[in-house]
Chains A and B, each alone.
Chain A
Amino acid sequence: GEDVEQSLFLSVREGDSSVINCTYTDSSSTYLYWYKQEPGAGLQLLTYIFSNMDMKQDQRLTVLLNKKDKHLSLRIADTQTGDSAIYFCAESYSGAGSYQLTFGKGTKLSVIP
């Protein structure tokens, strides 16, 4: 079955870049996503990338996809204290007419002022 793995913790200094990594196993994934979850809040979609793309940039966010290695990364430039949250990598599985998301366990990003 599908599996998405992420490191559990990342700590960076304010102003530095953060890089959160993710690996996945389902080669038939159509979209790969990054979600942000702040304490007590729902999931917020940050960005997504279609599986035939290598890179996507959106303001301070850069997503890199290595489809051969099934590796996805999220780079946050000029990390701010407001970026402290849990970041989830997810892939969409479109088998059997469904579009369920498979999530990793999340990476907790701590930004040190």
Chain B
Amino acid sequence: GAGVSQTPSNKVTEKGKYVELRCDPISGHTALYWYRQSLGQGPEFLIYFQGTGAADDSGLPNDRFFAVRPEGSVSTLKIQRTERGDSAVYLCASSPQENTEAFFGQGTRLTVV
């Protein structure tokens, strides 16, 4: 597709469960970002990949959160032992290289009940 694709668009899970959120960046984009947007807030940075490696994971809130990008394209954000406070919209963005325009996906709305 032409844009950043995120799946699923909505995910409802029970507290304590494990979830995976997927991001397909724009083809050829080497930089990939994950952000989290809580209700009424701006997006907050979670992690940045340059190619396959996590260049900056300083925004991950705790060790329940992990992200991978094994082939330098698709990325998966993994959340273990979900908590109600993890409920938010998780946004993925990609850019051709670092510090150029980042294109955002539609996000995955995660609800932990």
Tell whether A103 pairs with B42 under 8 Å between CB atoms, given A42-B91, A43-B91: yes
Interface residue range, chain A = 20 to 34
Binary contact track B24-59/A, C-beta < 8 Å → 1, others 0: 000000010101000011111100100000011011
Chain A residues, CB < 8 A from B20? none
4 A-B pairs besides A98-B48, A106-B41 with CB distance below 8 A are A35-B104, A42-B105, A45-B102, A101-B43
Name the contact of A102 in the complex, choosing from B4, B45, B48 (C-beta under 8 A).
Answer: B45
Q: Judging by beta carbons under 8 Å apart, are A103 and B43 in contact?
A: yes
Chain A residues, CB < 8 A from B35? 101
Q: Judging by beta carbons under 8 Å apart, are A105 and B40 in contact?
A: yes
B66: Cβ under 8 A from any A Cβ: no
By the criterion of a CB under 8 Å from any partner CB, how many residues of chain B are at the interface? 27
Q: Judging by beta carbons under 8 Å apart, are B99 and A43 in contact?
A: no
Q: How far is the CA of A42 from the CA of B35 in the complex (A)?
A: 12
Name the contact of B58 in the complex, choosing from A98, A103, A106 (C-beta under 8 A).
Answer: A98
Q: How far is the CA of A100 from the CA of B50 in the complex (A)?
A: 12
Q: Judging by beta carbons under 8 Å apart, are A97 and B99 in contact?
A: no
Q: Judging by beta carbons under 8 Å apart, are A88 and B42 in contact?
A: yes
A8 nearest CB across to chain B (Å): 9
Tell whether A101 pairs with B58 under 8 Å between CB atoms, given A42-B107, A88-B42: no
Chain A residues, CB < 8 A from B44? 103
Q: Judging by beta carbons under 8 Å apart, are A99 and B98 in contact?
A: yes
Q: Judging by beta carbons under 8 Å apart, are A100 and B56 in contact?
A: yes
B71: Cβ under 8 A from any A Cβ: no
Q: How far is the CA of A104 from the CA of B41 in the complex (A)?
A: 8
Between A and B, 5 residue pairs with Cβ closer than 8 Å are A31-B99, A42-B107, A43-B93, A98-B58, A99-B95
A42 nearest CB across to chain B (Å): 4
Q: How far is the CA of A100 from the CA of B98 in the complex (A)?
A: 9
Q: Which 4 A-B pairs have the closest CB atoms?
A: A103-B42, A98-B56, A100-B45, A43-B104
Chain B residues, CB < 8 A from A40? 106
Q: Judging by beta carbons under 8 Å apart, are B45 and A101 in contact?
A: yes
